[in-house]
Structure formats: C-alpha cells, structure tokens
C-alpha cells in the first residue's frame, strides 16, 4: 500500500457513524455531514462563547475576528464582520477578519469544520451574534468597574461605552485590554432584529479595495524565508507511476535546479525559482509504469463509454423517497413517457491554481500554508504524510482565488502532501504550485451523472413519476454514505416539493472510476436539470403550460407558490413565447425551480438560437433563503451562481479517453466568457423560514430553465449537457 492509499480514508471525525448521526440531526445541509454549530447546541450558552479565541479588541478601536470559514469570494468575512459588529456595536468596517487555525474551538461543526455546503453563515450566525453580544457586555463591565457604576446604567453607541447619567464615555479601544481580561458572560441577550443597523443591509465588502488593487494575498503569493519552489508533472493517467527520469542528470544541471524527486504518480523538480522548476520538469523524460493508486483509472476508460454503461446499468434500487404507488400508477396510466438524462464530468476551474507551502520547524512542528476548505481534515493527512502527531501540524488556510468545491480533501487532488514530502526531502521550506495542466489532471471532477425517468400524466397533469439515478455521489465516496442515504447522489431529483401523488425516487449505485468531488451545488448542479426538464416533458404530454402546471403542483405550498409568483412577476409576467425580440431574434422562455441547501430558488431564462448556438439573454432568479444577513452579497452570489449555471449548461464538459482527461487547460475546456453572460435580475424573498444557504442555491434552477426555453423555442428537448454538444441549426 502506498502512502496515498493509506491516507485515502483518513479519519476526520466524519466516520460512517458520524455521517449517520449527522444525517439524523440534519437541519442544515442535505449534502455535507454538517451538524449544528456548537453555539446552537444545548448547554453551550451556559459557559459563554469563546470570545478571546475568536475576537481581539485593539486599543485603536478596531477588532480582529478569527473566522472558522475561509473567504473565497462568497463574502463570508464581511458577513461575519457585520453580524458580530451588530451585537458588539462596532461598525463592520472596523473589523479585520482572518482565518482561524485548525482545531478547537474553531471546529464549530462538531469536531471539525469545512467551508462548503453553503453552510458557513447558517451554522454560525447565532455563534457570531453571541460572540459580539458577550464582548459588548465585557466592554461595559470593564467601564463599570473603572467608573465604579453599575453595569446596568451603561449603554453603547458604535465603538463607545456611555454612561448617560453622567455623560461619561470611553471608546472601545481604551477599554479593550481590561475587557478582554474579564470572564466571558453567558446568556447575554441578543439585539432585537427590529433594531438591526447592519444585519439585512447591503454593507460593503471589507475586501474589495485590496482585491481591486492587487493587494489581496492568496496561497500562491505566500512566501517564507529560505523557501524553494517546486513544480510537478503528474502521470497522464492516474495509476501510473514514474519508473525513472532518463535525463535526470541533465535536469539537475539546469539553472537554479536543486533536485528531482520521484513521488507517487508524479515527478517533481525543486528549484530556486518557480519558472526554473517548471521549465526543468517540462524537460524531464519520464518513463511511466503501472503503479498503485487507490482509484486507478482503467487504461481504456472513456467518458462516452461510461455514459453508455450507466445507461445500461440495472440493479437494486436503493429507495430514497416515495409517495403513493408509482409502479401501479404507471402500469395503469394511459399516457406514460420515459426519458434518460445525463450530465458530464466538470472541472472546478477556479482561476487560482492549487498550491501549498510546507515548512518543518526546529521544534518538530510543521507549518502548511495552502488552498484549503477543510483544515482539520488536511491536518490529519498532513500529520500522516509528515510522520507527526496531529497537534504538531499547523494548517494555515489562505484566502482562495475561487474554490467551488476544489479544495476539500480528495485522495490525489491536493498539492499539500507533495509539498510536505518535498520539504522533508530537501530540508528547506518548499512552495509547490500546480500548473493549470497539473490541476486539470488531478482535479476531483463533478461526477458524470445519469437518471432514468418514467412519468404518467392524466387530464389534470402528472399522476406518477419514478426516477432511477445511476452512479455514485461524492458523499458516498468520501464519507461512506450508503446508496439511498447519499444525498449528493440524488438531491435535485429527490427533495422536490411538487405534489405528484405517486412517486418513487432511488439510486442504483454504480462506482465511478474518477476521483469524484464536490462542485458548486453538488448533486443539485445536474439533478435539477434532469428533473425539471422531465417535468416540462410531462407538461407537454399533458398539454399543459409548464408554469401553470408547476403552480398547480405547488397548490397549498405557500412558500414555493410565493416564490414561483415572484419570479414570474420579476420577469414581467410569465410569457413562454416564442416571440420576436426588439433585435429581431426569436426568443422563448423556460422556468424551473430547485430546493438546494436549505433554500428555495426559481429561475426563468430567455434564449435565442443564432448560428446553431444557444444564446441566453436574460435570467431572472427569485431566491428564498428564509432569512438573510447581507442582500448585496446574496445578490452577488446569485449572479455568480447563475454564471456557473449558464456556463455548465452551455459549454462545460470534461471528457476522458484512454483513462486520461482530454482537456488540460482552458483552451480545450471552455468556461463562460464575458460575452456569454446574460443579464441577471435577482429578487430576494425572505419567508422567515430557518436560514438556508446562499452560495450554491442560485445555480440549480438555471440550467433547466435554459433547456426548457430551448425546447420551447426549437422543439428540441435536450437531455444531455452541455448544449454545445447539440446542433440547433434547424431552428
């Protein structure tokens, strides 16, 4: 067994038992094994939140907050600054926010924490409020002691403690040191939401100026004294190993080169400068041989053949949910339609390539600075690679240049184990950057997915729907969720709210040879496309309007009825078309809905076809996250989710031939260009339901709304993404 194989099932406090337990208490996430934040658990309030661990108050009146979750564009640092600031009574712009290190008390998801599942705000909203409220009480107590007056006579204005009776006041900065030495009070009352100043307002992001002037620092920018730079070349097919580098001596003689290293499935060059390492490793003449890997790619693997395999795979259906008797209803129905839908492998395509800097210290500890969404998990793996105890490893997550699920712990997809091995080998700190080509080779792609639908319609619409989702989800792969309980394998086909009287939804497990991963919106990223597309097919079969049919199927569901009406109104009233637009193009619209990550979303898209290609002109999204913190950030996240949704619907697809991905960079793997970006209008509906996620929920309804619009316009029902595989020249 190789080192990487041993690491494959690294214990991360997320055992199968942990998964099931988490699933039982699953109010927060349908995908990730997330449990409530500590602050939300019974008994936690009795001891007060760990204010000194999370908050530093400085004598200049500013505050530093350590965030359990990494900033990667989603705006979590600003969200937390305004949430803590609301209760602390300190304006958000006075905060600096940094990522917290691995371990307690930052493992706020119950022994670990990760940035994902659109879970950061909703898991920690109460904790952040309690931190701010307790810290404010400590400042008041410090002033009360100093002034020898009862704390109950004191109040605050932003950044200042006041004693109204005497007019005495002191800025937070003057009280900071004394306050932070006080015990943390428990059960401090929270502010009445009716009195919020910052929560629910579009507070500007605290990081945009640095990000507009090149000052923001990412993992790739990190430097440590005395470090060397490293580049790798991965085996073109996962499972191959380097047998030798025939020109190793020549490479080691190249300018700046320190050394050449044969790693598991890769060759690395360590040099004084990164470009020297890249140039050298590109020159390496590597003989590849069959090696060992936990998930070796079959040498004959092709994504096209795999799609056919999934389509042909019959097997035990692990039931996920059912109502009525779908089989009987399908047997007895007059009109039954069947369809198979599929969606391709996708890379994450975050613009910052993965990187890691590793440094062994004289005291036996190891520091790792890297692109990371799950520090506790990285810590465990890093300790195994380095041969250290977990508490000897410091994981420093760096601000992410995009993530979308790229930087969870996946067997062979993360650069930090290589960086640790290289630092150990050369006895100096090493920064390893994966070039885009190496990132594509070892990314953990969104799995290719496929589902078979059968539907029965009567005069009043759908009477039965059955769906068999064939394949494997990332939560099954990495957290041992069994078929039928792996939400990531079916969500978006399961978890729908339409009142169809007879349904049967299940998973037919079939292993995926690729190192599959989480991609923005996870299972929802493709399953809502499949379900909502098929639902439109049922509407056609029933000769019903797709919007009206959804309205009828949601009758009595106030939250979703409201949302559907909201998106209709936002788009100027439902008008499927086709109709002639002002520019003379023929256009049509489609509608779709999704229930992802504790939130609800509805989308309408407007499309035309030109030169055989689909153009998406406008997208309207109504989103109901229950409750929100920052409407500007919610809107930006929906814009972003729409962009990714349009991108994967129009152009994205990672194909494999002979066990290798056929694209290694953005030249052969398209992502959305600026001229392909539709206008986007967003309406936020706050139903008051428990807080849901925001980062991902804007995505899943976008694809099916486009595909449904295309069907309306062209009569072509697309059941296989992306649209660029299809020719609409006949339209």
Partner 1 sequence: MQLNINGTTQDVDVEPDTPLLWVIREELGLTGTKFGCGIAQCGACTVLVDGVPTRSCQTPADSVTGTEIRTIETVEETETGRRVVEAWVANQVPQCGYCQSGQVLSATALLTDTPNPSDEDIEYAMVNLCRCGTYNKIRAAVRDASEA
Residue 677 binds partner 1 (CB under 8 A): yes
Q: Is 649 in the site for partner 1 (CB under 8 A)?
A: no
Q: Hey, which residues does 261 pair with through a beta bridge?
A: 268
Min dist. Cβ of residue 642 to partner 1 (A): 7
Choose the stretch contacting partner 1; rule: CB under 8 A; options: 2-10, 272-280, 300-308, 533-541: 272-280
Residues near 260 by beta carbon (within 8 Å), at least 6 away in sequence: 245, 248, 251, 252, 267, 268, 269, 270, 280, 284
Rounded to 5 degrees, φ, ψ at 295 are: -125, 70
Distance CA 8, CA 220 (A): 25
Cβ closer to partner 1: 221 or 325? 221
The token pair that represents 430 in the structure block: 């090493």
Least Cβ distance, residue 212 to partner 1 (angstroms) = 4
Is residue 299 within 8 A of residue 657, CB to CB? The reply is no
Q: Least distance (Å) from partner 1 to the CB of residue 699?
A: 10
Does position 64 interact with partner 1 (CB under 8 A)? The reply is no
When asked if residue 250 is in the footprint of partner 1 (CB under 8 A), the reply is no
CB of 273 to partner 1, least distance (A): 5
Applying CB under 8 A, among 60, 255, 316, 361 the residue interacting with partner 1 is 255
Interacting residue with partner 1 among 665, 690, 715, 727 (CB under 8 A)? 665
The rounded distance, in Å, linking the Cα atoms of 172 and 143 is 9
Q: Strand, coil or helix: what is 265?
A: coil
| Distance set, CA 249 to CA 241, 254, 292 (Å) | 20, 9, 26
* Cα–Cα–Cα angle for 81, 84, 86, rounded to 5 degrees: 100
When binding is defined by CB under 8 A, the residue of 46, 165, 212, 427 that contacts partner 1 is: 212
Could you tell me which of 109, 114, 64, 104 has the C-alpha nearest to residue 84?
64
Whole-number Cα distances in Å, 78 to 197, 205, 217, 296, 632: 15, 5, 17, 42, 11
Of 705, 727, 696, the closest CA to residue 646 belongs to 705
Q: Is 433 in the site for partner 1 (CB under 8 A)?
A: yes
Burial class (CB in 10 A: 0-12, 13-18, 19+), 382: buried
Task: Please identify which residue in 400, 489, 691, 718 interacts with partner 1, judged by CB under 8 A.
Answer: 400
The CB density around residue 568, as the number of other CB atoms within 10 Å, is 19
* Closest to 478 (Cα-Cα) out of 106, 112, 86: 112
User: What's the min distance (Å) between Cβ of 388 and partner 1?
Assistant: 30
The Cβ-side half-sphere exposure at 599, using a 13 Å CA radius, reads 33
If binding is defined by CB under 8 A, does position 211 make contact with partner 1? yes
Among 10, 27, 30, residue whose Cα is nearest residue 479 = 10
Q: Which of 170, 632, 663, 731 binds partner 1 (CB under 8 A)?
A: 632
* Sign of CA pseudo-dihedral 568, 569, 573, 577: negative
Q: Which of 647, 649, 705, 714 binds partner 1 (CB under 8 A)?
A: 647
CB of 399 to partner 1, least distance (A): 8
Residue 152 found at the interface with partner 1 (CB under 8 A): no
Nearest distance in Å: CB 637, partner 1: 8
679, 690, 715, 727: residue in contact with partner 1 (rule CB under 8 A):
679
Interface segment toward partner 1; rule CB under 8 A; list 1-9, 242-250, 329-337, 670-678: 670-678
Residue 640 binds partner 1, judged by CB under 8 A = yes
- Interaction residues for partner 1, span 540-579 (CB under 8 A): none
Of the listed pieces 4-12, 52-60, 449-457, 674-682, which binds partner 1 according to CB under 8 A?
A: 674-682
SS3 381: helix
How far is 109 from 107, CA to CA, in rounded Å? Answer: 6
The widest CA-to-CA distance across the chain, in whole angstroms, is 84
- When the beta carbons of 160 and 346 are compared against partner 1, the nearer one is 346
Q: Which is nearer to partner 1, 9 or 255 (CB)?
A: 255
How far, in Å, CA of 390 to CA of 172, rounded? 38
Interface with partner 1, residue 218, by CB under 8 A: yes
Site size toward partner 1 (CB under 8 A) is 60
Binding mask 314-353 for partner 1 (x = CB under 8 A): -----------------------------------xxxxx
Is 614 a residue that touches partner 1 (CB under 8 A)?
no
Both tokens assigned to 513: 């040879």
Q: Which of 284, 642, 713, 723 binds partner 1 (CB under 8 A)?
A: 642
**Partners of 233 in beta bridges:** 267
Of 493 and 636, CB closest to partner 1: 636
* Interaction between residue 72 and partner 1 (CB under 8 A): yes
Stretch that binds partner 1, among 16-24, 237-245, 389-397, 433-441 (CB under 8 A): 433-441
Only one of the segments 61-69, 267-275, 442-450, 499-507 lies at the binding site for partner 1 (rule: CB under 8 A); that segment is 267-275
**Segment holding 215, helix H or strand E:** none
Does the footprint of partner 1 cover residue 93 (CB under 8 A)?
no
| Sole binder of partner 1 in the list 192, 195, 362, 675 (CB under 8 A) | 675
- Least distance CB 373 / partner 1 (angstroms): 13
In the complex, the smallest distance separating the C-beta of residue 378 from partner 1, rounded to whole angstroms, is: 20
Distances (CA, A) of 458 to 328, 337, 463, 546, 547: 14, 12, 6, 15, 17
Is 672 an interacting residue with respect to partner 1 (CB under 8 A)?
yes
- Identity of the residue, 124 or 355, whose beta carbon is nearer to partner 1 in the bound complex: 355
The pair of three-digit structure tokens given for residue 62, joined into one six-digit string:
């500013």
Which residues here bind partner 1, judged by CB under 8 A?
A: 72-75, 204-205, 207-218, 220-221, 229, 255, 273-275, 279, 349-353, 400-404, 433, 435-437, 632, 636, 639-644, 647, 665-667, 671-675, 677, 679-680
């Amino acid at each position: 067994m190789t080192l990487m194989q041993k690491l494959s099932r690294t214990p991360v406090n997320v055992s199968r038992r942990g998964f099931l337990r988490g699933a039982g208490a699953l109010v927060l996430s349908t995908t990730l094994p997330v449990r409530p934040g500590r602050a939300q658990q019974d008994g936690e309030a009795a001891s007060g939140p760990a204010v000194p661990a999370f908050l530093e108050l400085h004598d200049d009146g500013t505050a530093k907050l350590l965030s359990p979750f990494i900033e990667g564009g989603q705006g979590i640092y600003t969200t937390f600054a305004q949430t803590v600031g609301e209760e602390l009574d300190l304006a958000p712009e006075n905060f600096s926010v940094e990522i917290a290190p691995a371990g307690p008390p930052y493992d706020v998801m119950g022994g670990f924490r990760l940035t994902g599942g659109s879970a950061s705000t909703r898991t920690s909203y109460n904790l952040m409020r309690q931190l701010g409220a307790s810290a404010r009480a400590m400042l008041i107590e410090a002033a009360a002691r100093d002034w020898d007056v009862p704390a109950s006579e004191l109040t605050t204005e932003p950044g200042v403690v006041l004693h109204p009776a005497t007019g005495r006041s002191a800025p937070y900065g003057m009280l900071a040191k004394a306050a932070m030495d006080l015990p943390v009070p428990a059960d401090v009352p929270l502010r009445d939401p009716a009195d919020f100043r910052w929560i629910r307002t579009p507070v500007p992001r605290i990081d945009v100026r640095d990000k507009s002037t090149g000052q923001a620092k990412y993992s790739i920018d990190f430097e440590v004294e005395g470090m060397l730079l490293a580049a790798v070349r991965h085996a073109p097919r996962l499972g191959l190993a380097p047998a030798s580098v025939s020109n190793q001596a020549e490479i080691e003689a190249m300018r700046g080169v320190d050394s050449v290293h044969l790693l598991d499935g890769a060759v690395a060059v360590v040099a004084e400068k990164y470009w020297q390492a890249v140039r050298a490793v590109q020159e390496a003449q590597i003989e590849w041989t069959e090696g060992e890997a936990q998930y070796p790619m079959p040498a004959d693997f092709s994504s096209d053949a795999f799609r056919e395999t999934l389509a042909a795979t019959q097997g035990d259906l692990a039931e996920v949910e059912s109502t009525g008797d779908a089989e009987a209803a399908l047997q007895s129905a007059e009109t039954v339609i069947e369809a198979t839908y599929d969606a391709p492998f996708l890379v994450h395509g975050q613009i910052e390539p993965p990187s890691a800097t590793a440094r062994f210290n004289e005291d036996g500890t190891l520091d790792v600075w890297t692109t990371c969404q799950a520090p506790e998990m990285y810590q465990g793996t890093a300790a195994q690679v380095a041969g250290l105890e977990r508490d000897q490893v410091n994981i420093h997550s760096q601000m992410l240049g995009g993530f979308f699920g790229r930087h969870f712990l996946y067997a062979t997809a993360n650069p930090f184990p290589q960086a640790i091995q290289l630092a150990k080998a050369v006895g100096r700190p090493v920064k390893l950057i994966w070039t885009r080509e190496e990132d594509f080779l070892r990314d953990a792609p969104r799995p290719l997915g496929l589902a078979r639908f059968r539907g029965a319609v009567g005069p009043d619409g759908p009477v039965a729907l059955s769906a068999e989702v064939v394949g494997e989800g990332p939560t099954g792969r990495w957290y041992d969720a069994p078929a039928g309980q792996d939400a990531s394998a079916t969500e978006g086909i399961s978890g729908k709210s339409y009142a169809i009287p007879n349904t049967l939804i299940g998973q037919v497990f079939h292993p995926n040879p690729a190192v599959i991963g989480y991609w923005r919106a996870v299972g929802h990223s493709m399953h809502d496309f499949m379900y909502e597309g098929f639902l439109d097919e049922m509407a056609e079969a029933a000769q019903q309007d797709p919007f009206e049919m959804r309205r009828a199927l949601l009758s009595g569901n106030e939250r979703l009825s409201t949302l559907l009406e909201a998106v209709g109104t936002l788009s100027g009233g439902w008008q499927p078309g086709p109709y002639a637009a002002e520019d003379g193009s023929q256009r049509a619209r489609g509608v779709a809905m999704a229930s992802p990550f504790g939130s609800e979303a509805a989308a309408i898209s407007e499309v035309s076809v030109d030169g055989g290609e689909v153009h998406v002109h406008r997208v309207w999204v109504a989103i109901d996250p229950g409750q929100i913190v920052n409407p500007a950030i919610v809107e930006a996240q929906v814009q972003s989710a729409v962009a990714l949704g349009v991108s994967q619907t129009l152009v994205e697809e990672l194909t494999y031939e002979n066990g290798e991905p056929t694209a290694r960079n953005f030249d052969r793997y398209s992502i959305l260009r600026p001229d392909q970006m539709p206008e986007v209008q967003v309406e936020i509906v706050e139903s008051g339901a428990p807080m849901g996620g925001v980062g991902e929920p804007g995505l899943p309804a976008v694809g099916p709304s486009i595909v449904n619009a295309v069907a309306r316009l062209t009569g072509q029902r697309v059941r296989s993404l992306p649209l660029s595989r299809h020719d609409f020249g006949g339209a």
